[in-house]
Amino acid sequence: MSEKKPFYKKKWFIGIMIFLVLAAIGGILSDDEEVPQENPASSEIDTGEVEDIVEEIELTINDIVKNIIVDNLGEQTNMKHDRIIDITIEDLENDNKTIDITLVANENLTTNMTKSTIHKDSVEILEELYNHDEIEEVTLIWQLPLVDTYGNEETKNVMIVSINKEIANKINWSNFDYNNIPKIANDYWEHPAFNN
């Protein structure tokens, strides 16, 4: 009768143990090796890289503006028009920006309800935009399709609201009545159709 060897005396077990010991020793030795690191102060800055970074920052602010509008108002109006017509960002001193945004407003049952909705939408956008310190002034140019007396439809400006950072910092957004936009805006204009 042959006697069984304990498992720790078999060749396969010894082979695995040798492999594990060698792997552990190799891991310890490789951790001690230093990896040379590049000194960032000694590397030269390429002006092309700086221009790329500046361009990337511009795109980021543009993306932030688009995201705020889409998140609050949607990509399209209630009449299925594209919401955003244009976003223009102008650089000022001290890395501040002025932003002009041309948007199509939602239509409503009456002109007063449409006007009130534009005021409300303006406040929602302005409140979020002024959470970004680099924004110095925002102008919202609201448009709607208007029909003249001959039945011709044309998309025209119906309201322009401009508020700078100084005014925005005074507003308690959580308590602000959006119908006061005309009173506090730096510049405010509305189409005569809203006065009827």
What is the per-residue pLDDT for 36? 53
In a domain, 105, yes or no: yes
What is the per-residue pLDDT for 67? 94
Dihedral sign, Cα of residue 43, residue 47, residue 52, residue 55 = positive
In a domain, 2, yes or no: no
pLDDT in tens, 57-77: 655 789 999 999 999 999 999
In a domain, 134, yes or no: yes
pLDDT in tens, 157-186: 999 999 999 999 999 999 999 999 999 999
Domain span at 111: 52-195
In a domain, 76, yes or no: yes
In a domain, 10, yes or no: no
pLDDT in tens, 117-143: 999 999 999 999 999 999 999 999 999
59/62 Cα distance (integer angstroms): 5
What is the per-residue pLDDT for 4? 62
In a domain, 4, yes or no: no
pLDDT in tens, 45-55: 677 777 766 66
What is the per-residue pLDDT for 18? 77
In a domain, 23, yes or no: no
Rg (CA), the chain: 32
Please name every residue paired with 146 in a beta bridge, in sequence order, or none if there are none: 154
What's the structural domain count of the chain? 1
In a domain, 30, yes or no: no
